[in-house]
């Protein structure tokens, strides 16, 4: 039955990812993929918060289902490649460095907040 929890979380996470990406990108006149950056950092933070405080069922529902559908390594990779191929090499490098640093920082912050609770 765990697979139903994954599906339920993904039913929320996938549209949330798409709608967030479209809303963020429509507000920025930049080739930088801010929408993907935001959903990936947000998902990292949520996973950090779940660490050690969530039951197995909540971890499967929110961690695997919602965050799995919300975050996107494949889109991050594709958008980075397109930036590079399009000549925006500085943006491509900033996307890799910034996404990695912000994602690690967000998951760390989430974990640290759970220790305070």
pLDDT at 66: 96
Tell me how far apart the alpha carbons of residues 49 and 46 are, in angstroms, rounded to a whole number: 5
* Model confidence pLDDT, tens digit, residues 43-71: 999 999 998 787 889 999 999 999 999 99
Going from N- to C-terminal start, the domains of the chain cover: 2-116
Alpha helices in 1-117 (DSSP H): 2-26, 34-50, 56-58, 68-70, 73-85, 89-116
For residues 19 and 55, the model is more confident at: 19
Annotated binding residues: 68, 71
Annotated binding residues for Na(+): 68, 71
Query: Which candidate, 51, 42, 39, 48, places its Cα nearest to that of 15?
Result: 39
Token pair 């809303």 is at which residue?
23
* Model confidence pLDDT, tens digit, residues 35-47: 999 999 999 999 9
CB atoms within 10 A of CB 41: 20
């Amino acid at each position: 039955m765990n697979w139903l929890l994954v599906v339920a979380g993904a039913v929320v996470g996938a549209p949330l990812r798409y709608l967030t990406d479209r809303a963020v990108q429509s507000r920025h006149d930049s080739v930088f993929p801010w929408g993907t950056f935001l959903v990936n950092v947000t998902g990292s933070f949520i996973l950090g918060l779940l660490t050690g405080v969530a039951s197995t069922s909540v971890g499967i529902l929110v961690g695997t289902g919602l965050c799995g559908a919300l975050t996107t390594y494949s889109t991050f990779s594709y958008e980075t490649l397109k930036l590079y191929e399009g000549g925006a090499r500085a943006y491509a490098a900033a996307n890799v460095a910034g996404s990695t640093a912000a994602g690690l920082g967000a998951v760390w912050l989430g974990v640290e907040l759970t220790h305070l609770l």
